[in-house]
Amino acid sequence: MESNNLWLVNVPVATLWTSYDSAREIDKEAVSGIVNLESWLEKLSYEPRLSLCDDNLVQSQVLFGQEVLIMDERDGWAHVVVPDQPSGKDERGYPGWIPKAQLIQQSDWYKKPGPASVITAKKALLYSEKNEKLMELSYQTMLPVIEDMVDRIRVKTPTGIGILRAEDVAVISSEREVPKRNGTAIVAAGEQFIGLPYLWGGMSSYGYDCSGFSYNMCRANGYIIPRDAHEQAAAGKNVELSEIQPGDLLFFAYEEGKGRIHHVGIYYGDGKLLHSPNTGKNIEVIPLEGTIYEKELCAARRYWIDTEE
């Protein structure tokens, strides 16, 4: 990758839009240089939330400090790919548009391999060195560690140095070496988000879509998987539906399982599904028996390996 095209996300969560002109008036707080995701989502009633999907406005989201590759620019927007989100749409990563004001160039970001902090709390405050609150960051935000100070972690941010509370993060040996955990750990990661409203394209603890939820819970446990449900169903290890275990991904297709895959969830165990259903609903655990999901269940994939935990 050409380093001069490599940029970092400089807001807590950047939304990846389908086009440079996808965002609406109501989306102002999601596309400004200072993002206020909570305020944006509060304003989005059912209809404008639904049209993020139905009108194909949003593709995905990217977290603070994540790298994107700029391919083109137009009207203050950058056409990017997200290398961390594998996609059949572009072999380099997931494509979409982000306001250029939400990106910053940082040439020496991960040049020196070293420890990284990953946020394990649902959300965590980033402080300045003077203890001022800078911003609230999402679960799974990863930043290089400068110094581990017992109860606080000094981290490198796209604009300088920040402080995270040690209780909100895990320190790992490098950003590419998240410890691999088992299926039960994937379920446990997902359980903490029960009740969180669904968000089309959502990839943060402000809201996940179905495949964003499965992607992030796998990622939190050491497995990078494709971003979209139909591609998640084509990778991983095939598991017979009679042999599914907690942490396996379950896939659902139209026409009672024979048509196009349109949904993914995490097998919870005991005949139950942990998933982010659709606009207007919240992340939940439901029994499969007697539901439309039971009829539409078409495949299972395992991305996890057995570990000692």
Strands (E), 174-228: 203-204, 207-208
Is 275 a catalytic site residue?
A: yes
* Beta strand segments in 13-85, E: 13-17, 58-63, 67-74, 77-82
Beta strand extents in 166-283 (DSSP E only): 169-172, 203-204, 207-208, 237-238, 249-253, 261-269, 272-275
Neighbours of 89 (CB within 10 A): 16
Separation of alpha carbons 153 and 147, rounded Å: 6
Is 230 among the catalytic positions? no
Query: Residues in the chain, how many?
Result: 309
Helix (H, G, I), strand (E, B) or coil at 294: helix
Catalytic residue among 79, 210, 230, 262: 210
CA 87 → CA 94, 221, 229, 282, distances in Å?
Answer: 5, 20, 10, 26
Give CA–CA dist 223/200, Å, rounded: 22
With residues binned 3-state (H G I as helix, E B as strand, rest as coil), the percentages for the chain, rounded to 5, are 20, 35, 40
Catalytic position from the list 79, 262, 275, 298: 275
> Considering 53, 230, 262, 263, which one is annotated as catalytic?
263
- Which residues are catalytic, by number? 210, 263, 275
